[in-house]
Amino acid sequence: MNALVKARDFFDHMQKESGSFRLLASNIGGDEAVLRGRFQKTQIRQGLTMHYSDVTNLCDLSTETEAPPHLGIKLFFQGGVSASIGNQDIPMPCRQSGSSRWSPSATLFHQSEREVFRRQAAIGDRVRKLTIKVFPEWLESGDVLGGTGAEALRQFTSSSLAARSWSPSAALVSLAEQAISPQAFEPYLARLYMESRVLQIIAEAFSQLRGGHAEPARPSLNAIERQRLQRAEELLANEGASPSVDVIASEVGVSVNTLQRLFHTAYDTTVFHYVRTLKLKEARQALEAGNLTIAQAAFVAGYSSPANFATAFKRAYGFSPKDARSR
């Protein structure tokens, strides 16, 4: 149902979901309304849950929590916030050029350890999304990983933190809509109806790991957009602290959403992740030249934790920062 959610109720609810939930740098009063919208959580089976939300932020809100090990599928229908799991950004949908319609985004991710989930949203941001969580007990009970055909999935789940994003098909979006709003069945039939749709969504997500669906042709940038992208890249490449996304967008002469679209079209990534990749490259070059310690390189790359830096570095290059120094 649609409802106003006060800060105190929101915090209490999230604390029940996860005792590690935190509001960051917040001076929000307990009786202040922070969200408006619809929430839905359904346990499909033991170890398999579905979460749906369509919410609008009524204030600036930054949160973080620790998520337990699981496989997850996030399908964003519209809207955008800044969200990440560990060091992995979660891609957001893009508004279609010259239209009020959105192009949905989907991400399959896996974490074998507890990871920090961060979310930043500004007042007025509206996000509509569906999350399916697949916990180890469900995978094991159904023998999903059995047989030679599941090699791609086994390899994906062997990583401590992995993600695969794609543009969901119209059929997948339709299945998600049906799972969210099942037909007027009796309760036990409605649950079976929802489960059938959720299983089909999981099947399409897993098929991405073996190339079961070809990626759609990516749109290209026109000459003016390429010039704006190049100018943004020059600003980001300047030494010292990188300017904020707002400053870059203003300097380039576009909105923040348009700037994100330019990077998504050209590099299939967000501005934040582009900067992270750029800084990792700078850190690698400095390590290989023997100019920095690993702790100093972590700082250059924007990581407060050398351990997190080492994990991201190895994921990007296939070898550790220590190996880079010995080259």
Instruction: Residue 216: name the closest of 317, 94, 68, 129 by CA.
Output: 94
Looking at residue 215, its pLDDT comes to: 41
Residue 216 pLDDT: 42
Residues of the chain short of pLDDT 70, as ranges, are 1-2, 19, 25-26, 96-100, 142-149, 183-185, 211-220, 239-242, 327
CA 110 to chain centre: 12
Gap between the Cα atoms of 273 and 103, Å rounded? 20
Residue of 146, 164, 154, 162 whose CA lies nearest to 113: 162
Q: Which residues contact 158 (CB under 8 A, 6 or more apart)?
A: none
Q: What pLDDT, on a 0 to 100 scale, did the predictor assign at position 131?
A: 94
Strands ordered across the beta sheet of 2-6? 2-6, 33-45, 48-57, 126-134, 70-78, 105-111, 161-166
Q: What is the pLDDT of residues 211-238, one digit of tens each?
A: 544 344 445 677 788 888 888 888 887 7
Tens digit of each residue's pLDDT (9 = 90 or more) over 139-197 = 877 666 665 567 888 888 888 888 888 888 888 888 888 888 876 667 778 788 888 99
Q: What is the pLDDT of residue 282?
A: 85
- By DSSP bridging, strand 88-89 and strand 82-85 are antiparallel
What are the structural domains, with CATH classification, of the chain?
2-210 (2.60.120.10), 223-325 (1.10.10.60)
Q: For the whole model, what pTM was predicted?
A: 0.62
Q: What are residue 61's DSSP bridge partners?
A: 121
